[in-house]
Amino acid sequence: MNINDQATPRDVKIVHLILASMGITSYQDQVSVQLLDFAYRYTSQVLQDAVIYSDYAHQSGVSQPAGVGPQSPGLTIDDLKLAVASQVAYQFKPTTPKDLLLSLAAERNKRTLPPVPTSYGLRLPPEKYCLTGLDRDIDDDDDVIIAGYEKMDITIPEAEQKEDVEDRSADDEKMDTN
């Protein structure tokens, strides 16, 4: 965009000159529009805040909208300074000074790191208390016995065994006929 055009608004020309003075020569045309929009929103917000601060500082007992009324003496430099300071504190977050960060880092680095443990990962109890190990004994009857447990002798009376066998055979016959 040629900044010498007669159709170019004065504010856009000023933004182009500011960018050129900072050594920025290559940018899109929308950059100047965005910067103007930001400047307008920032300025209008500062002025609105300054009017509110002025009304608060010079208020009487009557409640009226900001900037309206015969008691409104107008804006003062102090009102504008306070509005700018509040906008700067609210809108622009200051960075932490580098010296402070370096001193905090040096203080933190004075403390040594804890020693590296000899084993890594999750610490489990001894193997005999875990179900992950193969600590099993095999009995002569091919029954598996877990270490620490006693084998229980379960005997079924013969009468119950015969009834159970008969019930199973009857169920098998019914299944075959279906």
DSSP letters along 57-99, please? HT--S----TT-STT-----HHHHHHHHHHHHHHHSPPPPPHH
Residue 36 within a domain: yes
CB 57 within 8 A of CB 71: no
Residue 18 lies in a domain: yes
The residues of the chain scoring below 70 in pLDDT are: 1-5, 59-73, 132-178
Number of Cβ atoms within 10 Å of the Cβ of 15: 19
Domain containing residue 77: 10-94
CATH code for the domain in which residue 54 is found: 1.10.20.10
Residue 129 lies in a domain: no
Residue at 130 is within a domain: no
The overall pTM is greater than 0.85:
no
Is residue 137 one of the residues assigned to a domain? no
Residues 131-173 have pLDDT tens digits of: 765 655 555 555 555 566 666 666 666 665 566 666 666 666 6
Task: State the Cα–Cα distance between residues 65 and 74, nearest whole angstrom.
Answer: 14
Taking the C-alpha atoms of 21, 41, 71 and 76 in order, what is their torsion angle to the nearest 10 degrees?
A: -20
Q: Residue 21: inside a domain, yes or no?
A: yes
Residue 68 lies in a domain: yes
On the 0-12 / 13-18 / 19+ scale of CB atoms within 10 A, 9 is exposed
Look at the chain and report how many structural domains it folds into.
Answer: 1
